[in-house]
Structures are given as C-alpha cells and as structure tokens.
A and B are shown apart, each in its own frame.
Chain A
C-alpha cells in the first residue's frame, strides 16, 4: 500500500501533503505517492528539513489508495483531515462539506 506524507503548515495550521518536488500542498490528490521504503525514507528526510526550517510541523506517513487521479487515505481520520469536516459548520458559502 502506498504512503504519502502529511503535516500541518506552521503559519496557517492548514493540513498539507508533500507533493513531488517537495512543495507542501492542500490538495491530497497532488501528494507524492511513496511506493517503497527508500522513497519514504528520502521524503521523510526532506520533510524533517522542512520542520527545521519552520515550514511544517507534525509530519506523518499515512496509508492511501490511489487510482484515476484520486488519492484516498485509508483511515477515516486521515480522510476527514484531507477533505475537511463532514459537517457544514462553515458559514462561508464557498466551502462545501465532505461528501
């Protein structure tokens, strides 16, 4: 099962995912899939540097399934983290609830 790296953006608190090339993005579908131990180790080393440089905090590797351009975390907790609360409490019209 592939993994991706997730963290929180230090300044904003946003949930972010490590994309190919090392950027941290909010869209889970853009995360870099880490298919083996070496890829994971490389990504984690790079992520640790991002923690030291005050970009992100709380880096975690999480299991995902991938296909058809979508990346879906396996654990419910991680799916909620990726897609936002499942209840519509935001009072902003532009935000949509999780399916």
Chain B
C-alpha cells in the first residue's frame, strides 16, 4: 500500500505541530471558540452531544496491521476502549479530550495517519470499493487513482473553502460496491477494447435532505486527464455553487438547478483550458503510484479447499460464514473475507480496542497485512486463502467478530444518532439493536436472503437510509422520536432512492412495522431466488402499504 515519502511525512508532522500550538493558544485564551472552531474542524475534531469527537481518515478504507494496532491503542489510552467505523470508511472516537488531541495526532503521524480534511468545506476522504485490488470482477484496482486524487486534494489552496463538503468515490468494477452514484463525483475505472484505462465520470449524486443520483458527464475519460478533468469540475463548482444557503450548497443542487447539459459544457470548457498543463498525469507517475498497490505474492491454490469443506461439515456457524462472508478473489483458492461488526443485538460498526488488535493479528498472520474498512461499517481481510478460513473464523467467533451476516437483514447500517450526535432528531442505534434481535435467527436470515436496512437519525442521512432496501429515517414529532420507512433504495450500479411508504411509526411500532414489510415480501415473492429489492421493483409499494396500513 501507499507509504509516505519525505514530503508526506513532513507535511503531516508540520500539521500536528501547528494544531498543537492552536490548542495551546485556545486553552490559554489567545483564541476564542469562534476563531478555534474552523481550525479544529480542519483536523477532524467535532464537538458532539457528550464530548469531542475525532474523525480519523482511513484513505480509501485501506490500512495495515500496524495502523490498526495504533487505532486500538488510541481507543484504549485516550478514549473509552472502542471506536466506530463509518459510512465513509473512516474511524470515529467519541470521547477524546481536547488537551489529548495533539498527542493523539502525534501518535497517528507515527503510523502515517491523520485527521486532516475529515470535516469542513473541502474534499473529504476518497472512498473505494472495499474489495479493491482483490475482487475477481474488477477491471483494475481503483486505489492508485484514489491515492492520486488524495494527493491532489490534500490542502489544495483553491479548494479549501468550497461552498460545502465534497465527496468522491471510486470503483474498479462495473458492480458498484462503493456507492459512486450517490457521491459528488463518482468514478468507475474501466478498460476499452484496446485494454486502455479510462473513467466513467458521474457528477452530482448525494443523499441528505435532497437525495439525487449522479449524472454521467463522461463515459470514458482517458487516464491522463483524470486530475485535469476533476479539477475542472471542482473549479466550476467552486465558482457557481451556492454560498447563500447551506442546504443548497452541494454540487447536486448546482446540477439540478443549472441542468447537467449546461454544467457539462462549463466543465468541458474549463477542462479544455487546463488539460495540457501541470495536471496532465504522466504515465510514469501513475506507474510509480501503482507499484505501491501491487498485489501481495499470492500463490494460486485449488479452487476448492478440502480443509474448509471438511471443517464446514462439522460446524454450522462456519458453513454459514463461508456462504455469506466470503467474496470471490482474482487469485484462485483465495477470497475477500468480511469481518462483521454487526453482532446480533449489538451496535453496528463499533469495535473494541481488543477486537481491533485481534483483526490486526489476523491480517498479519493470514491476510498479507492488509485490512479494509467498508462503507457498510464492516471490516475486510481482502487477501485470504480458503484453507485459512476455518482458523480465522475460530478466532473471529471467539472475539464477537464472526457473525455470518454480510449482506443479510442484520447487517444493518446505522448512524450514531441521538445517542451521540448533536445534529440528530432521534436515536438510531437502539432501533438497529432491536431489529437485529428480532431477525437474529440464522435460519430466518438465510430464508430472507440479501436485504439491507439502513437507519439515519436525522435528515442528513449519514446512515445512508435513502439507499437502503429498507430505509428508516428518525424524526422528532412533537418531542417524540418517530420513524419513517422508505423502500426500494439501492447504492449499487442500479442505484435508486427509496420511496416513503406512508405515515411513520413510533418507537414502539417500528420494529413490528419492519417485520410486516419483511413478512409481506416473504409471503408474496415469486420464489426464494427473488430478492427483496427485485420483488419491490416488480410489485411496487401497494402490497406493503396494504400490509402496513390496511386496504
């Protein structure tokens, strides 16, 4: 993976020194909160409901065992023994003290990590397919381009004060596991008939209070034009994006209000002006970055592991785990292994310091020292031999990390909600816990099949409820928590925004209501092979409305 060079290392250490001094001055009273707030946000430090919250960047969701151990140590020493993995592949600490943050940042810098640009009106973490560089269905690893974008966007002088935050996601497969169609810019790395690399470029996707699917502006942007074209998009956004209204400031609103054809013209005109300048990507630079992402030395093995098959025969849990949590790998006899952070009845996306250390151990021992964070709030070991799955599963299970539910109804995405977040209107975690308990039976989950529930505690949609097969939005109705259900959302290459099914439900009613939705699907699907999403797209809302609200 990418290793800091001298420039990166000094850049980060300068930033730590600078922020340490800003904290010192704040505590001494030389800076007011109004002066300090934008500075601390530039280092990912929020003030939330109970405490400060520090959001640490995990570039394109990739980290090593050593980095994961450092995240564990920070949780243990400076926080309350756990961290939360987010829908943008980052990690959040909920209880750091302001006085400790400089020390935390110094420790992160030791392992080439930081919290820069995880907040504020700038370009945020470039996220990627969590199976990047490993999945069998990939045209190419998108992460070198995510790294190039990261370098281009870090402390970019022109783009540090955008109208609003800006989020970019990349995939190297047509099967979109990175939700690129609900990002400000989405990039699909592709190959043409000659095998040359290019990008499908999508602009103006997003969730929040006005969810929109991104629009295509290029179907095959040549590789060398990636940065110039992205720069052109940002320049047009920076110039025309609204600054009068925080809720209308994202690029999706600009696309909606201006029209994609006019906006594309502006982008192309700007691109023409700058395409042959310093932003043109030299092939040797791409090659240099790509070398950091070379696949580890994986010797092909037998497609079928007799060791795994034998172990499965004796262990139902392992059998289910192998069915659900393994994804086909480029190299025969290997898989991408999903570590579920969704224990039945537990908090989605949280991991204790001890659990993080366990994952680091497993990555170092069996996983070529590579770990991924997925936007679905799980962890992944992207390069694992089938033969090693039984040993890995045993360790995961012992540590509460072996839930065989990847992609199933209890693999719930939930934002921190009113339990943690100053923006929230309602709690989301308790709803997730209760739903997980209700549907916890492994056999029932298998019968239901792939079904993603996503829960947001407010309209900002950090839980991605708009693209949940079942989406739940928590609102405040006359001082009481109240929950709206949307159906038929999807974050993949067939992206769709979920549709509100009707009147919302109280805290007491919501779990039963979701169960009614699931039972309606089970009772009327064409056959067990018809997924929830396919069923909804075929029949629409009517059967659900009837079941929930009567004829």
* A residues in contact (CB < 8 Å) with B: 8, 10-15, 51-54, 57-58, 75-77, 80-81, 84-87, 89-92, 95
Contact = CB atoms under 8 A, between A and B. Distances in A.
A86 B353 contact: no
Contact of A76 (B50, B353, B481): B481
Nearest to B420: A85
Interface in B352-386: 352-354
B98 A11 contact: yes
Given A11-B27, A54-B29, A80-B418, A91 B50 contact: no
Nearest to A78: B49
A54 to B, nearest CB: 5
Contacts of A80: 49, 418-419, 427
B61 interface: no
A77 to B, nearest CB: 6
12 contacts: A10-B26, A12-B97, A53-B29, A54-B29, A75-B479, A77-B424, A80-B49, A87-B347, A87-B427, A89-B80, A89-B82, A90-B80
B98 A12 contact: yes
B430 A86 contact: yes
B82 A86 contact: no
A51 B34 CA distance: 11
Given A53-B29, A54-B26, A80-B418, 12 more contacts: A10-B26, A15-B51, A52-B29, A57-B47, A77-B418, A77-B424, A85-B420, A86-B419, A89-B429, A90-B80, A90-B82, A91-B354
Contacts of B84: 89
Interface string B11-35: 0000000000000001111000100
**Chain A binding surface, main DSSP class:** loop
A10 B98 contact: yes
Contact of B97 (A13, A53, A57, A95): A13
B429 A87 contact: yes
A39 to B, nearest CB: 25
A89 B347 contact: yes
Bin the interface of chain B by size: 35 or more
Given A11-B97, A54-B28, A86-B430, A91 B51 contact: no
Contacts of B480: 76
A54 B27 contact: yes
Nearest to B48: A13
Contacts of A14: 50-51
B349 to A, nearest CB: 10
Given A8-B47, A12-B97, A87 B430 contact: yes
Contacts, number: 85
A13 B96 contact: yes
A95 B419 contact: no
A87 B434 CA distance: 11
B81 A92 contact: yes
A12 B99 CA distance: 7
A13 B26 contact: no
A78 B352 CA distance: 27
A13 B50 CA distance: 7
B433 interface: yes
B23 to A, nearest CB: 10
A10 B29 CA distance: 11
Given A11-B97, A76-B481, A91 B81 contact: yes
Given A76-B481, A87-B430, A10 B350 contact: no
Given A53-B29, A92-B81, A76 B418 contact: yes
Contacts of A58: 33, 47
Contacts of B80: 89-92, 95
B505 interface: no
Nearest to B481: A76
Contacts of B2: none
B439 interface: no
A42 B27 CA distance: 25
Nearest to A98: B419
B97 A90 contact: no
Contacts of B28: 54
Contact of B95 (A13, A76, A77): A13
A78 to B, nearest CB: 10
Contacts of B535: none
A22 B102 CA distance: 30
Contacts of A53: 29
Given A89-B347, A90-B82, A91-B81, A84 B481 contact: no
Contact of A85 (B29, B81, B97, B419): B419
A87 B419 contact: yes
A52 to B, nearest CB: 8
Interface string B67-101: 00000000000001110100000000011111100
B52 interface: yes
A85 B420 CA distance: 7
B3 to A, nearest CB: 32
Chain B CB within 10 Å, residue with most, of A51, A57, A85: A85
The list of the 10 closest CB pairs from A to B, nearest first, reads A91-B81, A13-B51, A13-B52, A85-B419, A91-B352, A12-B97, A87-B429, A54-B29, A90-B80, A11-B99
A15 B49 CA distance: 8
Contacts of A52: 29
B170 to A, nearest CB: 31
Nearest to B51: A13
